[in-house]
Amino acid sequence: MIDAVWTNLILNPMVNSLLLIYQFLFHNFGLAIIVFTAIIRLITMPLTLRQQRSMEKMQEMQRSKRWQEIEKKHKGDRARIQQEQMKLYRESGVSPFGGCLPLLLQFPIIIGLYQAITRALPTVPQALLDLTKHIYPFVPASLIPLNSHFLWWNLSQPERVVAPEVFGFGIPLLTILVVATSFLQTRMTTPPSGDSQGAQMSKMMSLYMPFLFGFFAYSYAAGLALYFVTTNVMTIAQYAALGKVNWRSLLSLRGTS
């Protein structure tokens, strides 16, 4: 039941949209992933903005004098601090989970996008059979198989190194791009934190998360890595357009605080 709902409401529309975009973009699956990711980001923009606003409100509150007083007054009494902070949340009309709901709503979209990319590039007979069964009648079957080559990558396979004969060792270029854009995105879109612990956490994440994504990019199909790069660049662009980019954090070597 859940499988059927998921497949019919999320996955199939995404796969078929991806195929149609591919058809209009000169049978270039790399371009199709980039445009498809951009469209999805635009559709989910209201959720993203809501999440962003909610986080800003929360941060403002955490920097407020009253918040600091609560922490100072009840130092050592964690339960009491939390109780008072919850009270403050209620009084201010801010939900501590306000940033989470839009995030949770985006989960199915992200998962669907990932699955749509992998489903559109079957690498075994069963996957090809699944794909042929889920194509809408108005999508030409002649699109199959998709051309999975984009620049020097095969998007259906994990990235292999580039130009080993030139440098004497291979360069996983797409993985490096994922790590670099993830790092930039984190640094540029993380607002200054109100407390040292938060700043420390942000700093740690800005260091290790890009490598985690790099690991994903290197291990999964290269199409997914292309999605990561696209979504990172779009996030930075979106923040820049809204004037929210934290340039200080990017230039600072001492972290985001």
162 binds another protein (CB under 8 A): no
| Interface segment toward another protein; rule CB under 8 A; list 18-26, 35-43, 106-114 | 106-114
Note whether 13 binds another protein by CB under 8 A. no
The distance of closest approach from Cβ of residue 67 to another protein in the complex, given in angstroms and rounded to an integer, is 9
Could you tell me where the DSSP H helices lie in the chain?
A: 2-6, 12-24, 29-43, 45-62, 65-73, 78-92, 100-120, 125-133, 164-167, 173-189, 196-219, 222-241, 247-251
In angstroms, the CA 224 to CA 108 distance is 16
Please, what is the minimum distance in Å from the beta carbon of residue 121 to another protein? 9
202 binds another protein (CB under 8 A): yes
Residues 26, 29, 34, 40: is their CA dihedral positive or negative? Answer: positive
* Smallest distance, another protein to C-beta of residue 160, A: 6
Query: What is the rounded end-to-end Cα distance, in angstroms, of the chain?
Result: 48
Q: Which stretch binds another protein (CB under 8 A): 18-26, 33-41, 190-198?
A: 190-198
Distance of CA 76 to the CA centre of its chain: 37
Among 115, 162, 173, 211, binds another protein (CB under 8 A): 115
The binder of another protein chosen from 37, 175, 181, 190 (CB under 8 A):
190
- Which of 37, 175, 189, 238 binds another protein (CB under 8 A)? It is 189
